A = this chain, B = another copy of it.
Amino acid sequence: MTRINPEIIKKDFPIFNQDIHGRKLVYLDNGATTQKPLQVIEAMAGYNKIAHGNPHRGAHKLSVEATKAYNSSKETVRKFINAKSTEEIIFTRNTTESLNLIAYSYGREFINEGDEILLAISEHHSNILPWQRLAKERKAILKYMYLNAEGRIPLDEIKNKISEKTKLVSVGHMSNVLGTIHPVEEIIHHAHRVGAVVVVDGAQSAPHMKVDVQEMDADFFVFSGHKMLGPMGIGVLYGKKEILEKMSPFLLGGDMIEYVYEQEATFAPLPYRLEAGTQNVEGAVGIKAAMEYLEKIGLDKIEEHEKELTQYALDRMLSLPYIDIIGPKDLEMRGGLISFTIDGIHPHDIATILDSYGVAIRAGHHCTQPLMRFLDLHATSRISFYLYNTKDDVDQFIEGVKNVRKWFGYGS
């Protein structure tokens, strides 16, 4: 397999044409949001320049073009995750809305008193709070699977926590703090044996590895455009058709109805039923362009590239005695993000000082306070890679870390 050349890829990304505080930008905050290639920026601008209209039902050319653009984006998304049909693809605003939609439209209907909802302790707040509210409303029980010392969910934990009472399991495919790739196939297998439905939060996985929702057999799979080279303001909810069909609408309004009377209404078929109001066609155009860009390069190659960077970064970081890696220290079932702490220096100070060297990383609780409490940490620093990162980026980051130590008066 020929490798990808991130130096050439970087040329597609205008953001790297600038200096940050007089230095070249080393962007290692891809877990939070990713940068956009010109291909995505121009696809959206192009849509706005020649084809913009309100889709659906418009008989004029611009409306027809907008409808085509929207539908063709759905087909691209369908193929990207190998869904059976575009009826299974609902555009939302982001992962957070996708999860809220499921909790509302599926949860309120199908979770009952005493039922169990199961999460991993490593979930992002967006994959915790909607279930907390649902559990409270429906008098259901919210349970967690805990992690072992390596940051993985042990098989026993899966088997023990999934019981006949379990009606819904929602689990992050890849942890946005630990980088662990959780064994979703195992979880789905066990959950389906007891008839539970499984939601996979793919916010951190879909951008970085080939996902096949049919092979995985997930009942729902959700992710965000802005973490995969696409625009903010658009996210995806995949759901199996037979399940989506049972769900009541979430947002109500234009375009998702059939007949509206003064006191009641009937709803349109899938996928329209779950998409209310004027949809974000530009966002759809952007996510399509992003997926096309990723597929042209190849998700397998991107994954390979990130693995290589991760190995390289782990090696360099493990050689510095004052760095603690939070999460698996090898490449097995882990993605391209690394959380760490540095003895005696608070993660926020690390991030601020690294910024002055042009190195963008994230620090904090990463929207995972229950995990932080479980790990007995207040915050971590995190680097996260994507296809445009280079070994040189890692080197600059390591140089930066050494400088952070110096600022605090430590020898390096």
Chain A interfacial positions (CB closer than 8 Å to B): 14-15, 17-18, 20-21, 25, 27, 29, 32-33, 35-36, 40-42, 44-45, 48-50, 52-54, 57-63, 93-97, 99-100, 121, 124-130, 132-133, 142, 144, 224, 226, 231-234, 251-255, 257, 259-265, 276-283, 348, 351-352, 354-355, 359-364, 367, 369-370, 373
Contact = CB atoms under 8 A, between A and B. Distances in A.
* 7 closest cross-chain pairs (CB), A and B: A96-B277, A126-B253, A233-B280, A129-B252, A96-B253, A60-B360, A32-B54
Contacts of A363: 59
Nearest to A14: B49
8 contacts: A20-B60, A29-B53, A33-B278, A35-B52, A59-B351, A125-B252, A127-B253, A129-B253
- Between A29, A60, A132, A252, the greatest number of chain B beta carbons within 10 A of the residue's beta carbon is seen for A60
Contact of A48 (B41, B60, B95, B121): B41
A237 B21 CA distance: 37
A199 to B, nearest CB: 14
Query: Chain A contact residues: over half helix, strand or loop, or mixed?
Result: mixed
B36 A48 contact: yes
B142 A263 contact: yes
Contact of A369 (B100, B259, B364, B373): B259
A407 to B, nearest CB: 15
Contacts of A60: 20, 29, 351, 354-355, 359-362
Given A50-B18, A53-B360, A142 B276 contact: no
A411 to B, nearest CB: 25
Contacts of A32: 53-54, 58, 63, 278
